[in-house]
Chains A and B, each alone.
Chain A
Amino acid sequence: MSPFLYIWRRSLWNFIKQLPKKPGRFILVLFYAAFFILALVSVSFIQREAAVPLMEQAHGFEIYSLVWLAIAFLIGTSILFFGATKGSAVFSGPDVHFLFTAPYRPQSILIYGLVGMLKAMAIVAVFLPFQFPNLSRLGFSIGKLFLLILLLIVMMICFNLGSMVLYLIAQNKPHVRSMIRGLLIAIPLAFIAVFLFLFMKNGSFGHTLQLFSESTVVRLFPLFGWTMSIGQGIAAGFDTIGIISLVLLVLTIPVTFYLVYLIPADFYEDAITQVEKVKEQQARMQGKRQTKASKLQLKHKGHSGLNRGHGLSAIFFRNWREMRRKQPYFVGIPTFAILFVTGSIVFGFTQAEGADSFGIFLIFIILLLQLFVKGDSFATTEMKRPLIYTLPYAPHQKLFWLTLTEVVFSIPAVLPSIILYVAVLRPVWYQLASALAVVLTFPVLTAASTMLTYRMMGSIEGQLDGIVQMFTNMILILPTFGLLVTAFVRFMTYDADPSILFILAAVVQTLIGSVVIYLAGKSALEQGLVKS
């Protein structure tokens, strides 16, 4: 048996054998399996009449065709672009250690890596049926849905293999690589330009759609066009071009594999660089390594030293210094993400008549977004580091400073949204005060969830820890959201002012959060670093 097959076979068998011994991993596998089955089963419960089938809508077929072309361009161009630069094979640290040093032609190792990539894609494919319920609303039968998913997978495989061929052609030739990358950007732009030209020429969007989706040149355009033609064939039956496209797309797989095996490869260094990057990212996610300072951060290094802090407050000011270096202007990606969503909603309110006072419920969104976009909390980061456990202070003092850090450092993420909300919707002062109370005390709950997860799991590193934290988050925020929903219903039914319930939510979440932080956090701090 090939050594490569041996690695896959034994790894899979050991993974299965380990499951009963690793309940966390076992639960995770069950969780994914349940999700998968649920997605498949749910298709049969969907009421088809709920939506008009896409193909029966005006220009439905043309829109559907263009959607496939857009998907092919979006996914394909990015795969080809990045793959041509770095290669798309998937290798791990042990592969570098054992396989790259073994007496094999690099091409053989590359084929192993490509099959590894296909394995990774198969795992992704497991999650695609979650979209079945949505797609079946468009009028596709379960059989066609499977074919569409299959097309998507084959398309991604072909693009990945194609990107590897481009990578090999361009290896050690920077000018060829630049040319390929330029071409990859130019192709979708050319398609858009032709579409716009046709639209301006005949003035009818529907007619342009039809011209475009029926064009032989477009339909037979390598990979991108073939994908669209096959998608059309699955939906409305295969014509000659559809069949040709299908044959060409399927042939792409063996042909590219052969080309990869044929072209002399010198990819080890790039693969090692990729492996190192992945390892670094994993180490950062596990809090084992600090994010490397960017040029911008180094430019804004600011004062040296903490300058403030005495005793445990030094932790607060150290976080302050770190945050100022990471986000010189206080704002980060979460700030923009929350601002984007809330900004869109605020804009919606300004367009709707009589919705001004209703804008207060924007707070819901801000709270929810905080949960999803914030990433690692400061409390989580501190709990992963040994320092907090070793400092000679009582647990309640440590927890106080950790919570304060969490609350204060969450402000930059939400403040611009609140300023926008105040500036545009101009809420009454007591409504604003109550909204601020509930938003600004919300991080107490996220800190509590961190402590609870740490106490239960001993870490927040693996996927299971993440799921547990998600569940603890969901449980802990229930009272807050219960009160907010009550405020919403009372407002809708009786036009009652929500401020008092907002204040109540702030008090309740602070109390619940504080108690959980004290009990779980104290225990977690006493327990020490379980996993390091």
Chain B
Amino acid sequence: MLEIINVTKTYGKVIANDHVSGVVPENTVALLVGPNGAGKSTLLKSIMGLLRYRGEIRLSGHDAKSVEAKRLLGYVPEMPEPYPLLTIAEHMELIARLYKLTDWEERADALLRRFELDDKRDKLGGELSKGMQQKISICTAMLPEPQYILFDEPLVGLDPYAIAEVKQMFRELASSGRSLLISTHILDTVDDLWDKVMIMNEGKIIEDVSRAELDARDESLEALFFRITKHNAEASS
């Protein structure tokens, strides 16, 4: 289980995350949605242990900044940055070395084939288009088969084929018992795959609702999002 307990992150006087709490249980696809600047990416970076914050984040009982937690975590950042002088194949090998993986070659080949990178395996990171960088970022995050995977705007920059592939991969990951936390402002990113949604605005989680609860209310995700964020914007103005 991923637990976010009262997390506050500030940049100077700007409060990016304001006493955020939430839970992503095992085998759950959670959406983190919100308008631009809501604090979604900051929260994901905090979970990845990249930022200093007040509060607590735990993964299967481990502190998020611990080595044990990082073994369980995969991360696809919003702006992928491959090493400019490493090839696609070498990026996969690097991940295998970093995570001390064994028998990873076949899995790496399968991932590269899936994202149509197998014929470009000798291309350098610096030669890749933004879409291809995003694909290699997804492949490298998948290779260690982490238990929890954080996606920060995973569909940005991808072509329609890759989007379809990523959506299919989300389905497979969900059915294989992994937990996904997908930050996005594209509400149909995972269609009907999600189990719970957390809506962020102005650094706070203003709604944390499960799919069953929403179905019981007979409200769509889109309707909920606009109702909540509009209401919040009006209240703050």
Q: Which residues of A contact B (CB under 8 A)?
A: 1-3, 6-7, 10-12, 14-15, 18, 92-94, 96-105, 172, 266, 268-269, 272
A103 neighbours in B (Cβ, 8 Å): 67-68, 70-71, 98-99
For this complex, 19 residue pairs linking A to B, each with C-beta atoms less than 8 Å apart, are A10-B85, A10-B86, A10-B87, A14-B86, A14-B87, A94-B83, A94-B84, A97-B81, A98-B83, A100-B49, A100-B50, A101-B48, A101-B70, A101-B73, A103-B70, A103-B71, A103-B98, A104-B70, A269-B52
Q: Which residue of A lies closest to B79 (CB)?
A: A93
Nearest CB of chain A from residue B8's CB, rounded to whole Å: 14
Does any Cβ of A come within 8 Å of B95's Cβ? yes
Checking A1, A14, A99, A269 against B124 with a beta-carbon cut-off of 8 angstroms, the contacting residue is: A14
Q: What distance in Å separates the Cβ of A71 from its nearest Cβ neighbour in chain B?
A: 34
Q: A11–B67 contact, CB under 8 A? A: no
**Contact indicator B67/A104 (Cβ below 8 Å):** yes
Docked CA distance A7–B87 (Å): 11
Contact assessment for A269 and B51 in the assembled complex, using a CB-CB cutoff below 8 Å? yes
Whether a CB of chain A sits under 8 angstroms from the CB of B94 is yes
B203 adjacent to chain A (CB < 8 Å): no
- Asked whether, in the complex, the Cβ of A268 is within 8 Å of the Cβ of B49, the reply is yes
Closest to A268 in B: B50
Which of A3, A12, A15, A100 has a CB less than 8 Å from the CB of B94?
Answer: A3
Q: Would you call B124 and A98 a contact (CB within 8 A)?
A: no
Contacts of B67 in A (CB 8 A): 103-105
Q: Which of B68, B81, B87, B91: most chain A Cβ within 10 A?
A: B81
Interface membership of B97, Cβ < 8 A: yes
Complex Cα distance A269/B87, Å?
A: 28
B50 and A272 contacting across the interface, CB-CB below 8 Å = yes
Alpha-carbon gap, A419 to B85, bound state (A): 52
Hey, which chain B residues are within 8 Å of A94, CB to CB? 81-84, 125
Asked if B70 and A7 make an inter-chain contact with CB atoms under 8 angstroms apart, the answer reads no
Pick the most buried of B71, B85, B97: most chain A CB atoms within 10 A of its CB.
Answer: B85
Cross-chain contact of B83 among A1, A11, A18, A101 (Cβ < 8 A): A11
CB pair A97–B51 under 8 Å, yes or no, is no
CA distance A172 to B51 in the complex (A): 12
Q: Which residues of A contact B71 (CB under 8 A)?
A: 103
How many Å lie between the Cα of A1 and that of B96 in the bound state? 12
Known: A3-B98, A94-B125. A15 touches B50 (CB 8 A): no
Structural contact, A102 and B70, CB atoms closer than 8 A: yes
Interface residue B195 (Cβ < 8 Å from any Cβ of A): no
- When each residue 26-49 of chain B gets 1 if its CB lies under 8 Å from chain A and 0 otherwise, what string results? 000000000000000000010011
**B18 in the interface (beta carbon within 8 A):** no
Interface residues on B, range: 20 to 34
Assess whether A97 is in contact with B77, with CB atoms less than 8 Å apart. yes
Specify the main secondary structure of chain B where it touches its partner: mixed
* Residue pair B70, A97 in contact (C-beta under 8 Å): no
The answer to whether B99 and A102 touch across the interface, beta carbons within 8 angstroms, is yes
Distance (whole angstroms) from the CB of A320 to the closest CB of chain B: 32
Which residues of A lie under 8 Å from residue B68 when comparing CB positions? 103
Contacts of A92 in B (CB 8 A): 81, 83
Across the interface, name the chain A residue whose C-beta is closest to B82: A94
Q: Interface digits, B177-206 against A, CB 8 Å rule (1 contact, 0 not)?
A: 000000000000000000000000000000
Chain B residue at minimal CB-CB distance from A104:
B67
Cα separation A172 to B54 with both chains bound (whole Å):
12
Candidate in A18, A100, A103 with the most chain B CB atoms within 10 angstroms: A103
C-alpha spacing A322/B73, complex, angstroms: 46
Question: What 15 additional pairs, Cβ within 8 angstroms, besides A3-B97, A6-B93, A15-B85?
Answer: A1-B97, A6-B94, A7-B94, A14-B85, A18-B124, A92-B81, A92-B83, A94-B82, A97-B77, A98-B91, A98-B95, A101-B49, A102-B98, A172-B52, A272-B45
Distance from B127 Cβ to chain A, minimum over Cβ atoms (Å): 10
CB distance from B93 to the nearest CB of A (A): 7
Q: With a CB–CB cut-off of 8 A, which chain A residues contact B147?
A: none
Chain B: minimal CB distance from A487 (Å) = 50
Check B50 against A96 for contact (C-beta < 8 Å): yes
- B87 neighbours in A (Cβ, 8 Å): 10, 14
**Nearest A-chain residue to B141, judged by Cβ:** A101
Interfacial chain B residues near A14, Cβ < 8 Å = 85-87, 90, 124
Contacts of A97 in B (CB 8 A): 77, 80-82, 137
Give bound CA distance, A98 to B90, whole Å: 13
Q: Are A6 and B97 in contact (CB under 8 A)?
A: yes
Beta-carbon nearest neighbor of A12 in chain B? B85
How far is B84's CA from A12's CA once the two chains are assembled, in angstroms?
Answer: 11
Neighbouring A residues of B170 by C-beta, 8 Å: none
CB-CB under 8 A for A101 and B85, given A6-B94, A18-B124: no
Q: How far is the CA of A396 from the CA of B1 in the complex (A)?
A: 66
Across the two chains, which residue of chain B brings its CB closest to A101?
B75
Contact, CB under 8 Å: B51 / A268: yes
Residues of A within 8 A of B86 (CB): 7, 10-11, 14
Query: Taking each of B52, B90, B97, B98, which has the highest tally of chain A beta carbons within 10 Å of its own beta carbon?
Result: B98
CB contacts (< 8 Å) of B85 on chain A: these are 10-12, 14-15, 18
Interface status of B140 (Cβ within 8 A of chain A): yes
Q: How far is the CA of A2 from the CA of B94 in the complex (A)?
A: 10
Alpha-carbon separation in the docked complex, A18 to B127 (Å): 12
Tell me, rounded to whole Å, the shortest Cβ–Cβ distance linking A5 to chain B.
9
